[in-house]
């Protein structure tokens, strides 16, 4: 188990080192793609903190993302802000999104499963309609940011590092929550909410807290997106494909695991960026996305990382068994088979050790 932790730490270090040097190449397109990839890593991790841990599938993440976009857009527009100071506004987008999450959560979290999904979609469309119909949101023409007079070759670098920071903070937060009492309560709710209540877990409060934390991260990313994309438009700030994409990322990598959403985002977002450049018809990539979703749900319902992890553990266990049969290695009856359920992708064994 110790060597596994070492491998994981080493892998993370390499990943971070690669991420940190990418903009130094001065390749504008690469950095631009990098910003989107990192934003989706952060978004998928944030989505997973609520939906993955509690099992409540939310398709309303774009509500928080869009709220972040419009919050920062409106502040910038009214205060005529330019320059680096705008980066200080992103957390405000997160803050407003977190405030929105409280009534949203109090209503939506009363219902479960399919009903919950439907309620989140309904709230999502309410927000999209509000954005495109109110005058103070700029209606369908949206809001444009002030011109950023930055050097063309490095213009995306600040965005890149901010997105990297948000993604890392989100991942560390997810890790901290996972092993905490709070995280354990979330996972207990996922397995059996009524039973958790009967054991003293204040389920509404716990669910709402995770919902708000998730909203804060998504709102902050929305703020970043506003300057990065240079517009706040209803169809992009409140984009239904945003929800489907981050949910798919979490599902592909490993729903409810720590590394799953990161892996899924790193895998999927570059593909989407590439596909959009290959085919002029942007819907083609989205159709492929839908098909992919079906494949994942049917063939890999638990995601790539947990499935692969399980196969590896099973392989190791059978090898140990064979070694034991030859008279070497650990004696049979050791709980190798029993621990097989705890895959390396999920640190379920951590708290048990």
Partner 1 sequence: MTALLRTEGVSKAFGGVQALSDCTIEVERGSIAGLIGPNGSGKTTLFNMITGYGRVDSGDVYLNDAKITSRAPDKVFALGIGRTFQLTRVFSRLTVMENMIVAAHHKEGAGQTGRFRNPFARAGGAATRKRAMELLEFTGIAKLAGDRAETLSYGQRKLLVLSYVLIADPEIILLDEPAGGVNPTLIGTIAERIRELNRQGTTFLIVEHNMEFVMGLCDQVTVLDYGNAVVSGPPDMIRNDRRVLDAYLGTAEEDDDSSAA
Residues that bind partner 1 (CB under 8 A): 176-177, 179-185, 187-188, 190-192, 194-203, 209, 335, 338-339, 341-342, 348-349, 351-353
d(CA 36, CA 199): 42
Q: Rg (Cα) of the chain, in Å, rounded?
A: 22
User: What tokens were used for 212?
Assistant: 């708000």
Residue recorded with tokens 């320059």: 83
Name the residue among 230, 270, 258, 262 with its Cα closest to residue 246.
262
> 94 or 183: whose CB is closer to partner 1?
183
d(CA 30, CA 182): 38
Q: What is the nearest approach in angstroms of partner 1 to the Cβ of residue 179?
A: 6
> 181 or 311: whose CB is closer to partner 1?
181
Q: What is the nearest approach in angstroms of partner 1 to the Cβ of residue 225?
A: 28
d(CA 242, CA 264): 14
| Beta-bridge partners for 143 | 232
The angle at the Cα of 58, spanning 56 to 61, to the nearest 5 degrees, equals 145
> 79 or 341: whose CB is closer to partner 1?
341
> 74 or 184: whose CB is closer to partner 1?
184
Q: What is the nearest approach in angstroms of partner 1 to the Cβ of residue 175?
A: 10
d(CA 266, CA 285): 17
Q: What is the nearest approach in angstroms of partner 1 to the Cβ of residue 339?
A: 7
> 239 or 348: whose CB is closer to partner 1?
348
Q: Which residues contact 344 (CB under 8 A, 6 or more apart)?
A: 4, 8, 309, 312, 313
d(CA 267, CA 253): 9
Q: What is the nearest approach in angstroms of partner 1 to the Cβ of residue 288?
A: 31
Q: What is the nearest approach in angstroms of partner 1 to the Cβ of residue 190?
A: 7
d(CA 139, CA 285): 28
d(CA 38, CA 168): 9
Q: What is the nearest approach in angstroms of partner 1 to the Cβ of residue 342?
A: 6
Q: What is the nearest approach in angstroms of partner 1 to the Cβ of residue 14?
A: 27
> 77 or 321: whose CB is closer to partner 1?
321
> 34 or 55: whose CB is closer to partner 1?
55
Cβ-based neighbour number of residue 100 at 10 Å: 21
> 203 or 307: whose CB is closer to partner 1?
203
Residue recorded with tokens 């929305």: 222
């Amino acid at each position: 188990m110790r060597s596994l932790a070492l491998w994981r730490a080493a892998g993370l270090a390499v990943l971070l080192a690669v991420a940190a040097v990418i903009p130094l190449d001065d390749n504008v397109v690469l950095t631009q793609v990098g910003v989107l990839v990192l934003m989706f890593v952060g978004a998928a991790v944030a989505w997973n903190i609520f939906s993955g841990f509690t099992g409540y599938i939310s398709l309303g993440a774009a509500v928080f993302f869009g709220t972040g976009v419009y919050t920062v857009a409106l502040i910038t527009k009214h205060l005529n802000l330019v320059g680096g100071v705008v980066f200080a506004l992103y957390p405000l987008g997160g803050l407003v999104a977190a405030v929105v999450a409280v009534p949203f959560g109090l209503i939506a979290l009363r219902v479960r499963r399919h009903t919950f999904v439907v309620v989140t979609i309904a709230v999502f469309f309410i927000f999209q309609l509000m954005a495109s119909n109110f005058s103070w949101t700029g209606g369908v023409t949206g809001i444009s940011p002030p011109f950023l007079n930055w050097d063309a070759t490095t213009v995306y670098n600040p965005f890149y590092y901010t997105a990297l920071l948000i993604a890392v903070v989100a991942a560390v937060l997810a890790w901290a929550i996972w092993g905490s009492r709070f995280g354990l309560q979330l996972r207990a709710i996922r397995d059996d909410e009524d039973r958790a209540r009967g054991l003293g877990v204040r389920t509404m409060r716990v669910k709402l807290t995770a919902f708000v934390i998730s909203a804060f991260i998504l709102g902050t990313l929305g703020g970043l997106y506003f300057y990065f994309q240079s517009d706040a438009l209803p169809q992009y700030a409140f984009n239904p494909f945003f929800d489907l994409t981050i949910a798919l990322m979490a599902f592909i990598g490993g729903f409810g695991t720590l590394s799953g959403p990161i892996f899924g985002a790193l895998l999927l977002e570059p593909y989407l960026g590439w596909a959009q450049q290959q085919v002029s018809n942007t819907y083609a990539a989205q159709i492929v996305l839908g098909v992919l979703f079906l494949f994942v749900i049917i063939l890999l319902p638990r995601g790539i990382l947990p499935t692969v992890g399980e196969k590896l553990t099973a392989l190791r266990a059978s090898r140990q068994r064979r070694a034991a049969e030859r008279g070497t290695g650990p004696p049979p009856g050791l709980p190798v088979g029993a621990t097989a359920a705890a895959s390396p992708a999920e640190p379920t064994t951590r708290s048990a050790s």
